[in-house]
Amino acid sequence: MIELERHIEILLLGNDCVIVPGLGGFMTHHSEARYDDNEHLYLPPLRTIGFNPQLKLNDSLLAQSYIEAYDISYPEAIRRIEEEVHELKQHLRNDGKYELNDIGILYINEENKYNFEPCECGILSPDLYGLDSVEIKKISKDEMTSSIADIDKEVIISENTEIEDDNLSDDKTIRIKVAWIRNAVAVAASLIAFLFITTPISNSNNSYITGNINNGIISNINPTSGSEKMHKITPKEIKAAVSQKDTITGIKPDANHNISTKDQDTGAYCIVLASRTTERNANMYIQELHKNGYKDAHIYINNNIVRVVYGHYNNESEAYSALRSAHNNEYFEQAWVYKKK
C-alpha cells in the first residue's frame, strides 16, 4: 500500500520542498489570482506544485514523518519508503501514470523520464483556505454608456432635491432672522425714545458733560398729587425762555426759616441736587436742606427747568472738589456739577 501521498501533502503544508529518495522532489510556489476570460471568473491565488526528478538526495524529512506516524525506527522508515517507491515505479511501468491524490498525476514517457501534472486546485494551504472564485462578466460599451447616463440622472435628481431642501431651510432661517431684527428694532426704538424724553446731558457751550439724573428725594418728601402735573412747555414759552436771562428763585419764607430769595454769589458753577421738579417741591426740599445746615442750597431756573442747586463756585475744579468731599452724604449721592448759563 502506497502512503507516500499522505505524507507528502502534510509535509508541504509547512515546507516548500519534500524529497522522495529514489524518485524526486516535490516543490511548491505561489500563484497570483487571475481572470479567466472564457469562464468570466476571477480565480483566487493558490499554491501550485511541481516535480523535479533530479532531486533524489535524502534530506530525512520524509523519513522523520514516517517515524512520527508509525512509531518506528529510522532504518525501518527508510525501508518502508524504498518499498513504496518501488511499488509506485511498478505502476508507472505498467500503466504509464500514477495519481497522487490532492497532489497531481505522475507520468513516464518512452524515454523513461518523469512528467508531472499538478492538481488544478493547487496544494492545500492554510493561508488561502476558503477563497473561492468570483464570477464577473465584462460590461460592453453600450451597457456602460447607459449605466453612466442612469447615474447622471440620479445625481441630477438628488442635487435638485438637496437644492429644494436648502431653499426650505433658507426660508426658515430668513423668517427667524427677520423676527430677531424686528425685536432688535423695537428695543432700539424704546431706547431712542427714552433718550429723547430725558434731559440732554451736555451744556450748551459743550464745556463738559454731566449726567441728567432725576433725584427721587423730592418725590419722597412730598409726592406730586394727581392734580399737580408737570407743566408742558409750549413753543411760545420756549421762545420766550430763550430770550430770558437766567434767574434764581428764592424760597418763600417759612415760619421757622428765613430763606434768602437772591443769590449772594455769582459763581459760574454749582452742584445740582435735584432737577426737573415743581417749584413747590423744590421749596420744600430747600427748607429741609437749610434745616440740616446746607444754607447754600437754592433754586436755579433755566429754560423753565427747575433745579435745586448748592453752592457758588468760580471754576469747575473747585466745584468737583466740593462734590467729592460731600459725595458720601445722602443729599449728594446723585448730585453732579453744573455750569450756569
Amino acid at 98: Y
Domain range summary for the chain, segments of one domain joined by +: 4-135, 217-339
- Give tens-digit pLDDT for 165-203: 555 454 454 555 556 777 787 788 778 877 766 544 444
Q: What is the pLDDT of residue 196?
A: 66
Walk along the chain (341 residues) in steps of 10 and give the mean pLDDT of each run: 86 90 89 76 80 88 93 94 93 91 90 88 65 73 67 56 51 55 76 66 40 43 39 39 38 37 61 91 93 92 92 92 88 90 78
Edge-to-edge order in the sheet of strand 46-52: 17-20, 24-31, 46-52
Condensed to tens digits (0 to 9), the pLDDT of residues 269-295 reads: 999 999 988 999 999 999 999 999 999
In angstroms, the CA 36 to CA 121 distance is 14
- d(CA 285, CA 330) in angstroms, rounded, equals 13
Q: pTM of the entire structure?
A: 0.39
Helices (H), 34-140: 61-70, 74-95
Which of 106, 87, 85 is closest to 96 using CA atoms? 106
Rg of the chain taking only CA atoms, in angstroms = 59
What dihedral do alpha carbons 194, 197, 198, 202 form, nearest 10°? 110
Question: Would you state the pLDDT for residue 240?
Answer: 40
Question: To 5 degrees, how large is the angle CA 116–CA 121–CA 122?
Answer: 60
Residue 242 near residue 303, CB atoms below 8 Å: yes
